Structure 1
Amino acid sequence: MAANIIDRRRINGPQRSVEPLYTHVDAAADPFASGRGDGRALDQVRPIFVKTGPLSAHRSESALSSAAAASGAAFYEQGKIRVSCAVYGPRQGRRSSARMGSFDCDFRYAPFACSWKRRSHVKGADEREISLMLEHAIAPAIRLEAYPKACIDAYVTVIESDGKAATIAAAINCISAALADAGIEMYDSVAACSMGLTGARWVADCAQPEEDAASCSMLIAYMPSADEVTYILQHGKTTPEQTDQAVQTCTNMCARVYAVICRYLQDSLE
């Protein structure tokens, strides 16, 4: 009698389980054997545009007051990806006895940012997760010990997205430019780049169709002057040799992106 009792308060698993099936990747079937759709090389990122400071040339009084409240702002465009960032602080933090400052990030998608899904105005779980990623990637580059009892806040808005990993990398680059515009003391600016493994090749800065076809993706945030990786994120299964190749290629791409951002920052000072 007791053997037939079923505990309905628990989720009963199946009687038997099977090993997960992994898709076999045929190295001979290379979708990029004839090149990429937009003509880029496999290790080439999309064209980059960076602008710091207030984004609008004609602003109302309310817009002027909100722009003046922000310590720094930046607009970052990479292909179809468009990201804006506003930095506030250093300002009084929540803990009055903290010996080091804190860095907080708020990441949001615009409702129309993703072509495959209309985003809600309520902050989703993926946006909260990305916010933590950005904090972990940027915080090591900020001299937080120089801002005791203070906090620095970055508000990132994705206006248009074209590839999730590439959008996160663009957000990191945009925050770095905004922090430089705000005059925040940093050890070095952080540059980020993403890659996707399609077939047997790593492809840099994947657009959304390329990212959907990739079996693995990798994102790296890197400080080129300090030669230090601040954040690394990988989704998918790779061999140690493929991982080492992706890290080397991704850091080289970050150094190129870093040079472009620094050039724009230097031009903004003239």
Structure 2
Amino acid sequence: MSRLELYSPEGLRVDGRRWNELRRFDCKINTHPAFDGSSYVEQGNSKVICMVRGPMEPPMRSQVNQTQAVIEMNLNIASFSTLQRRKRSKNDKRMIEMKTTLERTFEQSVMSHLYPRTLIEVNVQVLAQDGAVLATMTNAITLALIDAGVAMYDYVSAVSVGIHDQTPLLDLNVLEENDMSCLTIGVVGKSEKLAMLLLEDKMPLDKLENALAVAIAGGHRIRDLMDDEVRSHGNQRVSKLTS
């Protein structure tokens, strides 16, 4: 598609959103009770399931850290998640990059010093990809860790942003993502601190500050939506206990 079709002169994108509007965001926690923590997140048409085991005793001595928990990320992207039905192996360069980014993000966000000599196993399954997959995975992991009762400094809410000519576009779908420079950020709580920043392409330096401001505001809105789900689930559990 041409750049004009992605953003009309009237200020509308291909899916009818304005430049600063999020896609539909839907999330659930405790979706797989057999695990210590679990979540399901839909961000637009991107769909991700996350399941957490731990903190638990590591099965191998090599995984033991005497001072803090070891966080192990396992990513699996379903072959039917895109129209091309391409199966990604664990040695795929893109998979390794995302795995490393997520591990570094949550090593800094989890209070791992509270769980020495333990392992936190995070299993992520991508069911559908429609842009901002890394952001969707980050949000799903945050919710699953909270559901597992793992202590974190705050929510890590992630969103993508791109630059179309002079205009920043929030929460990109796959058509937009393939056609413009974009970055993904993870915001810590309601602050302006970033737990993650991944720039996929070159972006003009004079546009970066504006893009970050739009992304941080979007991250705060996603954080509120995730917090609503966590509180709603907590209230449901309390009401069951008291009834």
TM over 0.5: yes
Q: Is residue 217 from structure 1 mapped to residue 182 from structure 2 by the alignment?
A: yes
In the alignment, which residue of structure 2 is the partner of 1:31? 7
Displacement of 1:96 after TM fit? 4.2
Q: TM-score with structure 2 length normalisation? A: 0.87
Instruction: Name the SS of the counterpart of 1:112 in structure 2.
Output: helix
Gaps of 5+ in 2: 236-243
Distance in 2 (CA, whole Å) between partners of 1:237 and 1:128 is 21
Shift of 1:29: 10
Offset, 1:50 = 0.7
- In the alignment, structure 1 residue 200 sits paired with structure 2 residue 162: no
* Number of equivalenced pairs: 228
**Alignment gaps of 5+ in structure 1:** 1-25, 56-66
Q: Corresponding residue for 1:52?
A: 29
Which residue of 2 is the match for residue 118 of structure 1?
A: 85
Q: 2:121 aligns with which of 153, 163, 167?
A: 153
Write out aligned runs for 1:91-106 (5 A): 91-93=56-58, 94=61, 95-96=63-64, 98-106=66-74
Distance of aligned partners of 1:121 and 1:196 in 2 relative to their CA distance in 1, 3 Å threshold: closer
Letter of the structure 1 residue corresponding to residue 212 of structure 2: V
- The answer as to whether partners of 1:219 and 1:233 remain within 8 angstroms in 2 is yes
Per-residue CA deviations over 1:177-210 (Å, capped at 9, x if unaligned) read: 0001000011101000101112221111111111
Shift >4 Å, 4+ stretches: none
- Greater Rg over alpha carbons, structure: 1
Q: Deviations over 1:159-184 (max 9, x none)?
A: 00002xx1110000000000010000
Q: How does 1:124-203 map to 2 (within 5 A)?
A: 124-163=92-131, 166-203=132-169
Report the RMSD for the aligned CA atoms in angstroms: 2.0
Q: Are the aligned partners of 1:72 and 1:178 in contact in 2 as well (CA < 8 Å)?
A: yes
Q: C-alpha deviations, 1:6-56, integer Å up to 9, x for none? A: xxxxxxxxxxxxxxxxxxxx9x9983322112221111111111111135x
Identity between Structure 1 and Structure 2 (%): 25
**Residue aligning to 1:15:** none
TM-score normalised by length of structure 1: 0.79
